[in-house]
Amino acid sequence: MTENFLVQFEKKQRVAYLVTLASLAMADGEVEEGEEKLIKSICDQAGLDEAGKALVISAVYNPEEVAFENYLGLLQDSDLRFHLMTDIVLMVYADGEAEKEELEQAAKIRLLLSITKEQYETLTAYVKAAQDFKEKGIIEGEFLKQAGLEEAFKKHDIPMEAFNNGQTVGEIVTNVALSVVEKELEGTKAGVIFKVAKGLGLFSGRKKEKRRRKKRKSKFGKFLAKLAGTPVSHA
């Protein structure tokens, strides 16, 4: 997958994807130093203009004000819906195990995104396999073949681009942004602070400081439920 994978999609779809993802990943609305710069770097990768970037940043600071119904409908016919669903599943399993309520909400969201039960199960299997392979340090080459998921992706009409390295699009764009921001801040006082922010793993499901992680996880569940309850009309 190229670093600018997102730019192949319509601007409104890129905005919808990043607004939804950011509002869930930053559900508590508490933005630490370095995180806003990271989000802006991700927006730059996605080729967003200032208006689009402003919508994403607003979702970071005020996730409770995001009108999901204005965004989910834009993704129903886009391949980005598979990537958003995979990122959501990754966040649900962020601590290695998922809560029943969050799994139920994720299952509802797949309906809003026009994702079939078989596609959802395949994407969930992808997330679990990727987590397992990463823990064992054995991801190499074409991950879908390595994990035995290539045929399932083909059978259920899930585009394989961007899935062959065992990461989600959210993880990939975040890692690229981390490298960009770290380089920009190298040798500065802010760079020292950023080394701490780098450990946050914004969209990757990596653990944060225990108390904040627990709070953010609770808020994530709240916004996941809000997203699942969004009244979206199917075309």
CA–CA gap between residue 92 and residue 224 (Å, rounded):
9
Q: Is the dihedral of CA 54, 22, 104, 90 positive or negative?
A: positive
CA–CA gap between residue 58 and residue 162 (Å, rounded):
27
Q: What is the DSSP-derived secondary structure letter of residue 31? A: P
pLDDT of residue 131: 86
> Percent of the chain at pLDDT above 70?
75
**Do the Cβ atoms of 35 and 27 come closer than 8 Å?**
no
CA–CA gap between residue 52 and residue 102 (Å, rounded):
29
**pLDDT over 80 (residue 77):** yes
If you average pLDDT over residues 143-172, what whole number do you get? 90
Residue extents of the structural domains in the chain? 9-228
pLDDT of residue 182: 62
**pLDDT over 90 (residue 140):** no
pLDDT of residue 159: 93
- Any idea which of 22-26, 65-69, 157-161, 197-201 has the lowest mean pLDDT? 197-201
Tell me the pLDDT tens digit for each residue of 92-135.
Answer: 887 667 788 888 999 999 999 999 999 999 999 999 998 888 77
- Beta-carbon count within 10 A of 215 CB: 15
